[in-house]
Amino acid sequence: MKILKIAVIAGDGVGPEVINEGIKVLNKVASIDSTFHFDFTYFPWGCEFYSKHGKMMDEDGIEQLKEFDAIYLGAVGFPGVPDHISLWDLLLKIRKSFDQYVNIRPVTLLKGAKTALSDVKREDINMLFIRENSEGEYSGAGDWLFKGQDHEVVLQNSVFSRKGTERIIRYAFETAKKEGRSLTSISKGNALNYSMVFWDQVFEEVSADYPEVETASYLVDAAAMLMIKDPKRFEVVVTSNLFGDILTDLGAAIAGGIGLAAGANINPERDYPSMFEPIHGSAPDIAGRGIANPLATIWSASQMLDFFDYEAYGKLVLEAIEQLLVEDQVLTPDMGGTASTGEVADKIIEIIESTVSSNKLIV
């Protein structure tokens, strides 16, 4: 039996509530197949840890995490801890330390999910965002000069290396080629006359190696408009760290809401663990009430199964989410229902069990 070692960072707010339900689903999937098993190790890191120890994670936290096959993250952030501290000292620290340079966020309108757009068919919203995840606008480079003085100056520098830019664009081309879909690059080359001109140039260079992939390129502001007016033109999308962050939140709004938004932070070479998470926040205002939506966390569990090459089980989980949405009976309040966090996950497990018992699963 293959033992998959998973580091669990439940984090803050509703994080522990949703991550526990995701783990229940992963354990259910593992019980179907005797060839693999999940071994979960919990780490108490996050804002509560920071309030007690003055740091978001142990000093040797990265060394501890190196021993795992993947990381399962709930949510990070809580009132009283500045957002840049909670982000940079935990989430971004992990992404950068483990070279998780590929961020994958599906923007797919699942069966049964409701979109805010009118006159749009379900199949028209089916995008896969591939976001550069290690440098760009989130490089952390810059300076704060003459702080507190009248001539105070703040510098926030974007960093686009040829290695970092080319590898994410090539990863996106490989994905588009494998899936037989078009690839769209999103930049802002008209205004950002160094970084985005360079991005566009590298995209053009790499595209020469993939003549079979249909390509398009849009400025980020035009892309935001077209995601609303004509979403079907976007299939696989590659973009920078900041633009990908913003546009996938827009994508969540048109694909069923933030409660259905999942994300994977991938180190494709598997030299380090990859990390899987819902992209919603910690929602401290509803923490402890048992009404947080666990579907994004469960979808990220599906992404984890795909990453471990158990695509049939990843599909099983995703189809269970779709069936839950179609039935429209067991949903949390944010999706118009009255169910609790645990009831939603229990229903997902019930659907999985039904699918397996009826021999509909093909592995």
pLDDT tens digit sequence for 158-213: 999 999 999 999 999 999 999 999 999 999 999 999 999 999 999 999 999 999 99
> 190-226 burial, b if ≥16 CB within 10 A, otherwise e?
eebeebbbbbbebbeebbeebeebebebbbbeebbeb
H or E element at residue 223: helix 220-229
Contact predicate 240/199, CB 8 Å: yes
- 195-207 and 162-179 helices cross at what angle (nearest 10)? 40
Q: What's the pLDDT band for 216 if we cut at 50, 70, 90?
A: very high
C-alpha distances out from residue 209 to 62, 132, 170, 193, Å: 37, 20, 9, 25
| Residue 255 token pair | 């694909």
Q: Is the dihedral of CA 332, 253, 287, 56 positive or negative?
A: positive
The model's pTM is 0.95
Q: What's the CA gap between 78 and 269, in Å, rounded?
A: 33
Q: Is the dihedral of CA 250, 348, 266, 45 positive or negative?
A: positive
Count, residues in the chain: 363
pLDDT above 70 (res 361) = no
* DSSP-derived pairing of the beta strands 136-145 and 102-108: unpaired
- The string of DSSP codes covering 63-102 is HHHTT-SEEEEEE---TTS-HHHHIIIIIHHHHHHTT--E
pLDDT tens digit sequence for 58-87: 999 999 999 999 999 999 999 999 999 999
Residue with the two structure tokens 């590659």: 238
Q: Nearest Cα to 221, choosing from 187, 255, 183?
A: 187
Q: What's the CA gap between 360 and 39, in Å, rounded?
A: 27
Residue with the two structure tokens 């976007």: 234
Residues paired with residue 141 on neighbouring β-strands, in sequence order: 157
Residues paired with residue 71 on neighbouring β-strands, in sequence order: 7, 275
Please report the pLDDT score of residue 362 as a whole number. Answer: 55
How many Cα atoms are found within 13 Å in the side-chain-facing hemisphere of 43?
24
Q: What's the CA gap between 5 and 357, in Å, rounded?
A: 28
Please report the pLDDT score of residue 359 as a whole number. Answer: 72
pLDDT tens digit sequence for 223-280: 999 999 999 999 999 999 999 999 999 999 999 999 999 999 999 999 999 999 999 9
Q: What's the CA gap between 64 and 99, in Å, rounded?
A: 16
Please report the pLDDT score of residue 358 as a whole number. Answer: 83
Whole-number mean pLDDT of the chain? 96
> How much of the chain, in percent, has pLDDT values that exceed 70?
99
Residues paired with residue 155 on neighbouring β-strands, in sequence order: 143
Largest CA distance in the chain: 72
pLDDT tens digit sequence for 129-147: 999 999 999 999 999 999 9
Q: Region 309-337: what's the mean pLDDT? A: 97
Q: What's the pLDDT band for 363 if we cut at 50, 70, 90?
A: low
Q: Is the dihedral of CA 324, 327, 331, 335 positive or negative?
A: positive
